[in-house]
Chain A
Amino acid sequence: MTPSLIDGLSGGPRDVRRAAALVASACVLQVAESLLPHPIPGVRLGLANMVTLVTLAELGMPAAIEVALLRTVVGSLVLGTFLTPGFILSFCGAAASTLVMWGLWRFSLRFPALGPSVVGISMASAVVHNASQLFLAYLIMMRDASVFYFVPWLVISGVVMGWLTGLVAAEVIRSGGGAYALSGGGLAPREERQAPAGAFFGRLSPGARMALALAALLLAVFTGSPRGFLLLASGLLAVMLATRQPAASYRLLFKRLRRLAWLASVSFFFPLFFDRGGAVIFSAGPLTATRAGLAAGSVFAMRIAAMGWIAFLLNLYSTPSEIAAGISALGRPFRRFGFPADRIGAVITLAWGEIPAFSSRAREAVRSVLSGSGRAGWRREPLRWLVRLAAAVVARMCRPGEQDAAGTAAA
């Protein structure tokens, strides 16, 4: 961490470091959650949302929205999914759910007798998170009303998961181990290029690379014909061939696209079977596929694959710190409207650097809490025991050592 990176930014270096640490811990939770099995698409615990809620309650809205949005960016850098369809959904879901969280929180503070508690707010924001993701999937990828079959399931899962994470958030705030506990110095950002950028992309500035990727994404969103996708795909392939990518890159691309398979297959099969009209291709029992449905489904699936491919290339040709630089470069023109472009770049870079430290700290926290608390409570009150355990892990993750905790208390 160089002092020049964070000095002179809005809020001052301490504030930037605190934001980076919160982003890093939210990110570790998000990544840990993505490693857990989630058999039903769209049903997630939403552990990272909890950090947003704690931040909102203790530091206010600007800090909360910063943590909510930047953790999706940093999390996607860790998973290599920046700008993929999944990232776009989670980014907008985080924005919408944080806005609702904020509105309800203001309401509860103004009318303490009437408003929902932290638990209710967490539940409402989880529901909004799910619903807004679905609506966005409808808007930019499928445009087929059949996706709304999912709404009730996502609402119910939001209620359950939001309630659970809300219990944990309330416990973290109550125990006083939330947003204030802060790490000391961060680690230096890792400079690891995943693949040689090649002469062409190496010469482009990070901002220009980001702008190219965004333009290609817009193209994918607005292309509606299979021929357009064929052109786009051959362009992307040409880029990979021209930069002499090794075979490993193609294998990695295949792996990344396979991750999008469930999203692509949902968007393929729903219109296929629910689009009425057009000539019938086959019908088996209640399922009937029509030609119009086949065409719509193929376009949606191709759109998702193309978006995934574009995002893969951006992640291939840029290191995470270059992506952070690209985001600040593209945001710089908006500075006059109060958009803190430089600060955002710094927070992303710092948080990215802190992630290895935070994940090992999280592992330690889990181990020490498990060994300290004893498992007797598990039999008597399993839910309360689990909530306490999770809260203790989160609190300890954010507060690494006694001296650091003392330092922040004094500050």
Chain B
Amino acid sequence: MEESVPKKLLGPRPQDYVLGAILVLASVAWLAAPTSAGGGELRARLVHDGRTVGELPLDAPATRSFNFEAGEIAVEVRPGRGIHISETHCPNKICMHEGWIDRPGETIACLPNRFLVEIEGGEPEYDAVVN
């Protein structure tokens, strides 16, 4: 019965090295790819008057300030909490009272400034709709 096993299948062949190299390279690529981490990275898109004026990833602390129609307005990103409007000079500061947002699809709008913060990326979370 042992004769039925071809001799050349009994030791490493070039094919094996190729197969192994492909597998190892694919894993290294997987490790190196930044977006493979559990469902994609979240970003906040900052929109003024329909034009995108900036994009901030939600996993790095950052602040941005702008000068629009109703004066100065600033946003702050804190990993784990999301993004919020940290400072504004519009009349009733509704946007500041909206607090933090961190889920895809959530928005904060400042109407006097015609300014919009919108979270993008990741997988849609339907739980959030129920909430």
Contact = CB atoms under 8 A, between A and B. Distances in A.
Interface of A: 57-59, 108-109, 112, 114-120, 123-124, 127, 144-146, 148-149, 151-153, 155-156, 158-159, 163, 166-167, 170, 173-174, 176, 178, 180, 274, 276-277, 280, 283, 286, 288, 290, 292
Given A151-B27, A152-B30, A176-B2, A119 B37 contact: no
B13 A120 contact: yes
Contacts, number: 107
Given A152-B30, A288-B79, A146 B38 contact: yes
A174 B15 contact: no
The A contact surface, by secondary structure, is: helix
A155 B27 contact: yes
Given A108-B9, A115-B9, A151-B30, 9 more contacts: A117-B10, A117-B11, A117-B16, A118-B9, A120-B12, A173-B5, A274-B38, A276-B103, A286-B79
A127 B127 CA distance: 35
A59 to B, nearest CB: 8
A361 to B, nearest CB: 22
B77 to A, nearest CB: 13
Contacts of A286: 79
Interface residues of B, number: 35
A277 B2 contact: no
Given A116-B16, A119-B11, A277-B128, A152 B27 contact: yes
Nearest to A112: B6
A116 B5 contact: no
Contacts of A152: 26-28, 30-31
B130 interface: no
Contact of B24 (A109, A146, A159): A159
B29 to A, nearest CB: 8
A114 B38 contact: no
A11 B27 CA distance: 43
30 contacts: A58-B1, A58-B2, A109-B6, A112-B8, A112-B9, A116-B15, A116-B16, A116-B19, A117-B11, A117-B12, A117-B16, A119-B11, A119-B16, A120-B13, A123-B23, A145-B39, A149-B38, A152-B28, A152-B31, A153-B27, A155-B27, A156-B27, A159-B20, A159-B24, A173-B10, A277-B102, A277-B103, A283-B81, A288-B80, A292-B127
Contacts of B11: 117-119, 170
B59 to A, nearest CB: 8
**Residue with the greatest number of chain A CB neighbours at <10 A, chosen from B20, B36, B42, B103:** B20
Contacts of A57: 5
